[in-house]
Amino acid sequence: MYLFTNDYSEGCHPAILAALTQSNRSQQPGYGADTFTAQAIALLQAQLADPTADIHLVAGGTSANLLAMAAFLKPFESVLAAQTGHICVHEAGAIEATGHKIEVAATADGKLRPADLAPLLAKSPPFHTVRPRLVYVSNPTEIGTIYSRQELTDLSAYCQANGLLLYLDGARLPMALTAATNDLTLADIGRLTDAFYLGGTKCGALLGEALVITNPALQPDFKYHLKQRGALLSKGRVLGIQFLTLLQDDLLLTLARHANALAQRLAQAVQDLGYSFLTVSHTNQIFPVLPYRVIEQLAPDFGFYVWKPIDAEQAAIRLITSWATPPEAVDDFIAALRAHSPAR
């Protein structure tokens, strides 16, 4: 059985294991003061073309999100998000647990645009309602779509004009940046947002996300938040070594391209067989709409989530590929899908 359930089903890229092994006996200071972390941060600052970016390596995405929002917001300030946003659904109320309301906009494709935000800003009376302050977006979104350069530029401008911070959840940002239809660079992401995180866990690391704070007003004292919320690893080197490896020679992007390519190969086959999709995705998550009968026939051999019922006959499933997915697994799935699909 092969799992297309998630992009965190395996361990890590072998280069990371090699780097961990090679550095193992080096004595280093703890809590992120090691030389590997310093090098990884310098490399990422260079790729962002922003030598003053404040960068912190943390263990996971929910941790990155809650740390950022808890640190950036005053108690009465709220977060604006698409209702499909990870923080709205699958973080067990982590943001609210830090005291902040999330105000949601319904959007068809998981992306936020200025027109989605405007109604959320029309508040009255003051101090009876929370004050919107931070816009949370994911790129790619939780349903595989990505922001264009123009879209993110417009959103960024709108946020600036309205006193809003723009925060980007980049759990799968490498996949967005390497999608066929992408026209954003990592430096664009840094420039257009106040803070974002670059995902490692879903892109070949054992664990780790790089939280990047580009807005200088949000940078001071961030390490206090990390420590206070239990997010500062004693052996920070574990994160430093991994990001150093992933950021060298564009390994991170290479792995993302692999994941995207295999997902798109799956998508092409799905489409060739006459099926449709829940959303148009050019990244490593695709959402084919299949008859329940077909889904049942695939289930014994392949792992995946049934994402959303469409009608009595069919549902959208989610297929995820990763840096670790072997092309053969994709071929097997395509063959099985073809075998179980009625002739057309």
3-state secondary structure at position 256: helix
Long-range CB contacts (within 8 A, 24+) of 215-221:
215/165, 216/52, 218/54, 218/71, 218/72, 218/165, 218/194, 219/54
Q: Which of 233, 253, 269, 319 binds a copy of itself (CB under 8 A)?
A: 233
Residue 155 near residue 168 (C-beta atoms within 8 A):
no
Structure tokens at 4: 């297309």
* Closest-CA residue to 237 (of 26, 60, 78, 70): 26
Residues 2-31 contacting a copy of itself, CB under 8 A:
2-3, 5-6, 8-12, 14, 17, 20-21, 23-31
Q: Which is nearer to a copy of itself, 13 or 282 (CB)?
A: 13
Binding-residue total with a copy of itself (CB under 8 A): 78
Taking CB under 8 A as the criterion, the residue among 52, 93, 108, 339 binding a copy of itself is 93
Smallest separation (angstroms) from a copy of itself to the CB of 272: 27
**How far apart are the C-alpha atoms of 28 and 91, rounded to whole Å?**
33
> Which residues inside 173-232 make contact with a copy of itself, applying CB under 8 A?
201-202, 206-207, 221, 223-232
Q: Is 263 one of the binding residues for a copy of itself (CB under 8 A)?
A: no
318-337 binders of a copy of itself (CB under 8 A): 324
Q: Is the dihedral of CA 333, 325, 269, 271 positive or negative?
A: positive
54 forms part of the interface with a copy of itself (CB under 8 A): no
Least distance to a copy of itself, CB of residue 182, Å: 24
**Position 91 contacts a copy of itself (CB under 8 A):** yes
Q: Are 255 and 201 in contact (CB under 8 A)?
A: no
Does 49 engage in binding with a copy of itself (CB under 8 A)?
Answer: no
- Asked if 120 is part of the footprint of a copy of itself (rule: CB under 8 A), the reply reads no
307 touches a copy of itself (CB under 8 A): no
- Tell me which of 51, 122, 128, 161 binds a copy of itself, using CB under 8 A: 128
Our CB check for a copy of itself shows the closer of 59 and 173 to be: 59
User: For a copy of itself, which is the closer residue by CB, 129 or 181?
Assistant: 129
If the CB atoms of residues 280 and 324 are measured against a copy of itself, the closer one turns out to be 324
At its nearest, how many Å lie between a copy of itself and the CB of residue 83?
Answer: 11
Look up residue 216 and give its two tokens.
């200088």
Is 163 a residue that touches a copy of itself (CB under 8 A)?
Answer: no
Is residue 43 a contact point for a copy of itself (CB under 8 A)?
A: no
Cα separation, 142 vs 306, whole angstroms: 15
Q: Hey, which residues between 69 and 88 contact a copy of itself (CB under 8 A)?
A: 70-71, 74-76, 78
Minimum CB separation from a copy of itself for residue 187, in Å?
27
| Element holding 291 (H helix, E strand) | strand 288-291
DSSP reduced 3-state for 265? helix
C-alpha span between 224 and 208 (Å, rounded): 19
Give the pairing type, strands 305-309 and 285-286: unpaired
- Beta-carbon neighbour count of residue 124 at 10 Å? 6
Place of tokens 């709220």: 78
Residues making up the chain, counted from first to last: 344
**Nearest approach, Cβ of residue 127 and a copy of itself (Å):** 4
Instruction: Output the smallest distance, CB 11 to a copy of itself, in A.
Output: 4
How many Cβ atoms are within 10 Å of 31's Cβ, its own excluded?
15
Residues 98-117 that bind a copy of itself (CB under 8 A): 98-102
